[in-house]
Structure 1
Amino acid sequence: MSDVSSTAWKPFEIIPYGVVLHVPTDWEALPPVPANGPEILRATGGAGRMLIVFKMPAGGLTAAQVADKAQEKLAAHGFADFTRTETRFAGRSGVALDFVTRDGDGKVARRTREYFAVRGNAAFVLGMGSASWAEHLPLIEQIAERFELAD
């Protein structure tokens, strides 16, 4: 799905957290996986198309500082090739952190992007990845562009 210009969207309201996630209409919400930590929603659009939303205490940190802490944890779990970009996310200044997962031969198996924003004392993270990055990146960017945090 590289042409997202004609995609129809639907909202998933995560009412207790003041979050609205907009995804294509053929996507479905899945329950959080407690082993993933502060996950509040998963959604999927079929094989190879999944996203996760996290909420965690910001502890007075900026979105960039939260992304730095996440990068440290991700690197400790074997993720690599991090790049960080300042961006608008959830209607405010945010950060996009890109990284890869490598297979046993050292080849890139999956690329992932996590978007970070802070509202008050809460940090929100939207994570999406793909083995078909060029194909899925436009969709990933559109989902992130539509992500809402209510004040």
Structure 2
Amino acid sequence: MSDTTAWKPLAIVPYGAVLHVPAGWEAMPPVPANGPEILRATGGPGRNLIVFKVPARDMTAEKVADVAQEKLEAHGYGDFTRTEARFGGRQGVALDFLTRHGSGAVIYRTREYFAVRGNAAFILGMGSATWDEHLPLIEEIAARFELTD
């Protein structure tokens, strides 16, 4: 991982979470049209992320990912793959999916991380049109995400 002096914490105070982003990134307000979004951050063009908080309703991270996948499929996303992943200091799930152009060409890849704490599920979503270039940063941001107890 990178030198921690090059990272800054963005406390999501009402929800007991801390998102660590590289220096130079900035927080932006949530977009209400996106539903349960609680924070956005950007590091410039092509470097964006979103944090969501949804009711867990006694669901596991896997089940929350199932529900998210169903909604994403209904919006035209596809080619889903899932892996176990540590997220927020807990065992969680990483869900990868693609956005395709009408011709079928992949134009964007996204990864969403899921973790459950109590009655809340937290989701960190990040994607890129240049996946191989941005994947190490996406993984590092997810590895630094904290859910406080």
Are 1:61 and 2:59 counterparts? yes
Q: Return the match for 1:139 from 137, 140, 143.
A: 137
Letter in 2 for 1:84: R
| Residues 128-137 or 4-13, more deviating | 4-13
Are 1:130 and 2:133 counterparts? no
Letter in 2 for 1:41: L
Letter in 2 for 1:5: S
Name the counterpart of 1:25.
23
CA RMSD across the alignment: 1.0
TM-score of the pair, normalised by structure 1: 0.96
Q: Secondary structure at the match of 2:44?
A: coil
Give the whole-Å Cα distance in 2 for the aligned partners of 1:87 and 1:53: 17
Give the whole-Å Cα distance in 1 for the aligned partners of 2:71 and 2:148: 28
- How do 1:53-132 residues align onto structure 2 when only pairs under 5 Å count? 53-132=51-130
Give the whole-Å Cα distance in 2 for the aligned partners of 1:68 and 1:20: 25
Name the counterpart of 2:49.
51
String of CA shifts for 1:50-75, please: whole Å, max 9, x gaps. Answer: 00000010000000000000000000
Shift of 1:114: 0.1
Shift of 1:6: 4.9
Q: Secondary structure at the match of 1:144?
A: helix
Letter in 1 for 2:100: R
Name the count of aligned residue pairs.
Answer: 148
String of CA shifts for 1:119-139, please: whole Å, max 9, x gaps. Answer: 000000000000000000000
Segments of structure 1 that go 5 or more residues without pairing to the other structure are none
Shift of 1:104: 1.6
Segments of structure 2 that go 5 or more residues without pairing to the other structure are none
Give the whole-Å Cα distance in 2 for the aligned partners of 1:5 and 1:11: 14
* Identity across matched positions, percent: 76
TM-score of the pair, normalised by structure 2: 0.97
Name the counterpart of 2:35.
37
